Amino acid sequence: MITYRFGPSGGHGGRAFEEESPLRLAALRIRHAGRIDAVELLWDDGSHDAAAHPAQLHGGSGGTAALFELRGADEWLTRLSGRYGQTVDSLRLETNLGRFAEFGGSGGDHAFCYDVPAGYALVGLFGSAGHFLDALGVILGPRAASPDAAPSEAASAAPPKAAGRKTPAKKTVPKAVAAASAADGRPKKARKSSDKTVDVPASPPEEAPKPKRSRKKLAE
């Protein structure tokens, strides 16, 4: 699966982490107080067995735990935003159904915002963490279509194509001119050959000279 990473936003402390999964994101557990202490991702493989995929805690154990659960395969995250300074101070989650939740405090000198475009989903997080969540970035990948999704919806997960630019047609330079340009280092213009044909009237055929008869005088 091709994935794309954006970020991270935050400070330089903590130890680096990265978590990515091909499974559907079912919920996020956030530990927070005046800042974001930790974040956990909970994945769903369809069995609804939480023990099958234990969550990884990225950060410390302080603060209060809050669970933001997605409502099945028809809901997914569309934006993660917040503020940061030396650590991630606040985090806001938004979904395609218009639901949102905010965590953390009001500190942070800088704002961050990661949008999830149509056809994509949050498939992981990366950054750094210690006693707190020091830095946070997102990993995006094609969103798996639900079983009853139309084929067009499943195909929308393809990366958008860049807009093409029209390239002007190149002028063909005769080989002789190109060779001459390469010889003296100066570009030379090709002479245009005339396409007009001139009809030259045919001259009338010359008459063959008549033989001259010589008369000899008879001797008297």
Q: How far is CA 195 from CA 112, 192, 198, 200, in A?
A: 67, 9, 10, 16
* Mean per-residue pLDDT of the chain: 77
Half-sphere exposure of 13 (CA within 13 A, CB side): 12
Domain range list for the chain: 4-142
The highest-level CATH class for domain 4-142 is: mainly beta
pLDDT digits (tens, 9 = 90+) for 89-125: 999 999 999 999 999 999 999 999 999 999 999 999 9
Residue 208 CB partners (closer than 8 Å, separation 6+) = none
Per-residue pLDDT for 200 more than 60? no
pLDDT digits (tens, 9 = 90+) for 142-190: 987 644 443 333 334 444 333 333 333 444 444 444 444 444 555 545 4
Q: Which residues pair with 59 in a beta bridge?
A: 38
Angle at the Cα of 147 (from 144 to 150), degrees rounded to 5? Answer: 85
